[in-house]
Amino acid sequence: MYDTILVPTDGSDPANRAVEHALALADRYDARVHALYCVETHRYGEPALSSTAIVLNQLEEQGQAMLKELGNRADNAGIECTWDVCHGRPWEETLSAADALDADLIVIGYQGQSHARTERIGSAAERIVRSADRPVLTA
């Protein structure tokens, strides 16, 4: 049913639940997982400023560490996993990655770290659900 599952993550609890679902589905359907961490550069301005560059570098390093750990978990479970760190708006980058990978499914947390109200879907998840031309599972 699924060959490629895309799971964007930001380390939030909902994103971690999405990772668990993505790994379980990949195991069940013998699919590969592609994990994505997006550094939200639009929140910090142009990276030409030294303090901005430092913050963006820290966020990128955090993302790489998170994705490496996710890759190790997948590896230990016998699931093929690739990953990327990108820069931009998470919903746009997720949709672009889904197209580039020809992903069969996007598995995403219903909200991310920057969402304050727990009873509502986050803006990135909502945009992905509304715009994706493939199935999206929110966790």
- Indicate the CATH number for domain 4-138: 3.40.50.620
Contact in structure between 89 and 96 (CB atoms under 8 Å): no
Token reading at 38: 């997006």
Model pTM score: 0.89
Residue ranges per structural domain of the chain: 4-138
Long-range Cβ contacts of 123-130 (<8 Å, 24+ apart): 123/91, 124/89, 124/90, 124/91, 124/94, 125/91, 127/91, 128/91, 128/94, 128/95
d(CA 77, CA 128): 28
List the chain pLDDT tens, one digit each, 139 residues: 899 999 999 999 999 999 999 999 999 999 999 999 999 876 666 555 567 777 888 999 999 999 999 999 999 999 999 999 999 999 999 999 999 999 999 999 998 766 555 678 888 999 999 999 999 999 9
d(CA 22, CA 7): 7
